[in-house]
Amino acid sequence: MLHWCFESRSTGRLTVAQFPNVALVAFVACRTATWLFHPAGAIGSALNWAGTAAIAWWSADEVARGVNPFRRVLGAVVFAAVLFGVAHPGH
């Protein structure tokens, strides 16, 4: 069961993460900049929305093109969390 869940359908190898991942790097960069500098106003809003867009892009791409069931389920869970976060800010 674990092998089936983590096996890449294209290579047959076990795959948990793949690099490079531009959307994930963009998300981490936006969140790190927000955490380090606590920007206010337009810059803070832009970093927040850019980070949210990046993680939504990553998760939707995983749902659509994930190489194994684990990656597709992870993408779906993250996408649902992003939608919840956008619909209910502050939670």
How do residues 11-31 score in pLDDT, each as one tens digit? 999 999 888 899 999 999 999
Q: Helix (H, G, I), strand (E, B), or coil: what is residue 7?
A: strand
How do residues 35-73 score in pLDDT, each as one tens digit? 999 999 999 999 999 999 999 999 999 999 999 999 999
Alpha-carbon distance of 90 to 47, in angstroms, equals 16
pLDDT at 7 over 90: yes
pTM, rounded to two decimals: 0.89
Bond from prior residue into 69 cis (ω within 30 degrees of 0): no
